[in-house]
Amino acid sequence: MTDLADPPRPLADGFGRVHRDLRISVTDRCNFRCTYCMPAEGMDWHPRDELLTFEELTRIATVCVERFGFDSIRLTGGEPTVRAGLAVLVEKLAALPVDLSLTTNGSTLVAQAGPLRDAGLHRMNISLDSLRADRFEALTRRDELPRVLDGIRAAVAAGFEPVKVNVVVVRGVNDDEIVDFARFGRDEGVVVRFIEFMPLDADQRWSHEQVVPSAEITAAIDAVFPTEPVHRGSDPAERHRYLDGQGEIGVIGTVTEPFCSSCDRVRLTADGQLRACLFSTDETDLRSLLRSGATDDDLAAALQTTVAGKWAGHGISNVTFIRPTRSMSEIGG
């Protein structure tokens, strides 16, 4: 591994953005079938031998931390908690000096929240797009809302701070629940983050008409629960705290208010492909490097080359925008 006597050097792209945040997808599989993420049937999962092992994932993460000073790692999927032995990976990564977090659909947290916390996980984001049982089932194709709600409460009880609930807002689907979610966050002591609908749906039917702008979301909440803005820094979420002190919300305006100019993250897919942007059309095959005897210098060089070629922005609103060939479930959030 890297000689710790050598100080980390910034991993910068051609626009001066320094990258310190690694998103790791640990599996492409999921126990839900969300309509905007994957089809009901017919998914071709990667064979187990195509997925990076925990040791391979830890090695890449270590290079990111020791060579380039990464200070944040987030585990994603698919649904990461369906990967057997996830707490073992968490324990390995928790040995690194990083903020270690997880994005999950929450359906297994009653059993897993405590062990993941004990293994060294710091924070947790839980995806939830409706508080109505019938709508939740229509969106996820699973009748699991009570389990997810119990999972959110289990995460809070396990001591995760903060617990964030991610809501993808889609016009005509769940935009009438914005204030309901704000109230839910206040009542449950969790931070609700509203995310604009992005063109990563499995059936590729996304359109601008389905996007509820972040300004509309905050205005709807502010009319009922007055808020004030909070400095966001490099956080993708625009933060607003309630004037009565009862928590805060976040709004991620990927489409209408993109934060590309401050983006500091790279993504590693479960099958070992490195992506400089969620919307990249190119990938770097780190799995082949790992399994062909590459050194840490080789991995570091691949990271540098990939990040050096990062675009200025995703260009969703441009006529030249090209969708990624993978859906969100394959890329990782």
Q: What is the pLDDT of residue 7?
A: 85
- Is the Cβ–Cβ distance between 19 and 305 less than 8 Å? no
User: CATH number, domain at 315?
Assistant: 3.20.20.70
Q: Helix, strand, or coil here: 115?
A: helix
Q: Helix, strand, or coil here: 199?
A: coil
Neighbours of 189 (CB within 10 A): 14
- Is the Cβ–Cβ distance between 140 and 133 less than 8 Å? no
Q: Largest alpha-carbon pair distance within the chain?
A: 59
Range of the domain at 46: 21-331
- 6: in domain: no
> How many domains are contained in the chain?
1
Tokens representing 133? 């049982």
- 12: in domain: no
CA 131 from chain center: how many Å? 21
73 beta partners: 22, 100
- 5: in domain: no
Distance CA 323, CA 60 (A): 27
Distance CA 64, CA 163 (A): 26
Q: What does the angle CA 137 – CA 43 – CA 196 come to, to the nearest 5 degrees?
A: 55
Q: What is the pLDDT of residue 104?
A: 97
CA 83 from chain center: how many Å? 16
pLDDT in single tens digits along all 333 residues of the chain = 544 457 899 999 999 999 999 999 999 988 887 777 776 676 778 899 999 999 999 999 999 999 999 999 999 999 999 999 999 999 999 999 999 999 999 999 999 999 999 999 999 999 999 999 999 999 998 999 999 999 999 999 999 999 999 999 999 999 999 999 999 999 999 999 999 987 555 555 656 788 999 999 999 999 999 999 997 666 788 999 999 999 999 999 888 887 788 889 999 999 999 999 887 888 999 999 999 999 999 999 999 999 999 988 765 554 444 555 666 666 765
- 140: in domain: yes
Distance CA 314, CA 299 (A): 25
Q: Pairing mode, if any, of strands 123-127 and 99-104? A: parallel
Q: What is the pLDDT of residue 46?
A: 86
- 134: in domain: yes
- Is the Cβ–Cβ distance between 56 and 272 less than 8 Å? yes
Q: What is the pLDDT of residue 9?
A: 95
Q: 100 — phi, psi (to 5°)?
A: -105, 120
223: Cβ contacts below 8 Å, ≥ 6 apart? none
Using alpha carbons, select from 177, 175, 176, 239 the residue that is nearest to residue 212: 175
Q: What is the pLDDT of residue 319?
A: 42
Q: The pTM is what?
A: 0.91
Q: What is the pLDDT of residue 236?
A: 81
Sign of CA dihedral 123, 237, 168, 188: positive
- 227: in domain: yes
- 13: in domain: no
- 14: in domain: no
